[in-house]
Amino acid sequence: MGMESGDTILLSVNIHQFKFLLLPFIFLKTISAIHYDFSTEVIEKVSFASTYLNDIYTSIEETKLRNKIFNKTKTIALMYVVSKARDEEILPDNQETFLEWATQYYTREIAIPNATSGTTSGDRVKARNSAPLVHMRQYLLSLK
């Protein structure tokens, strides 16, 4: 399955087609090929987050668990969480810690269902992206 100009950019990846193999060089080539004007900093952040999450995704052997944590909406939120947590210097070096948090948040504690589904309005997207980051900050504090 080849990617053509305009087919996809990172924020609209269909993980069921690509099995979440977010290989940064593919996206860099895609971004370059379709002439989007992304800064080097944005491309680096996307590359780092996609590699970090891909390592976690491929480490999950149980398909049901993998599907509960990673879908189109949640993957975008996770990209945001990884990027922001890295900026804040709270991103766990140990990806297992991140997976434990994601498992807890997306399979056991979704106390804020509105933050994981809904429309694409600005407020809904902001809630879906910021709620997991807030939860992760609290989770990491509880580990100390």
76 burial class (0-12, 13-18, 19+ CB within 10 angstroms)? middle
- Could you say which residues of the chain have pLDDT below 70? 1-37, 110-122, 124
How many angstroms separate the Cα of 44 from the Cα of each of 24, 120, 126, 143? 9, 26, 22, 29
Would you state the pLDDT for residue 135?
A: 92
Give the model's pLDDT for residue 1.
41
Q: At which residue do the structure tokens 């860099």 appear?
A: 28
Other residues' Cβ atoms within 10 Å of the Cβ of residue 37: 6
Predicted TM-score (pTM) of the model is 0.70
How high is the pLDDT of residue 73? 78
Predicted local distance difference test score (pLDDT) of residue 120: 62
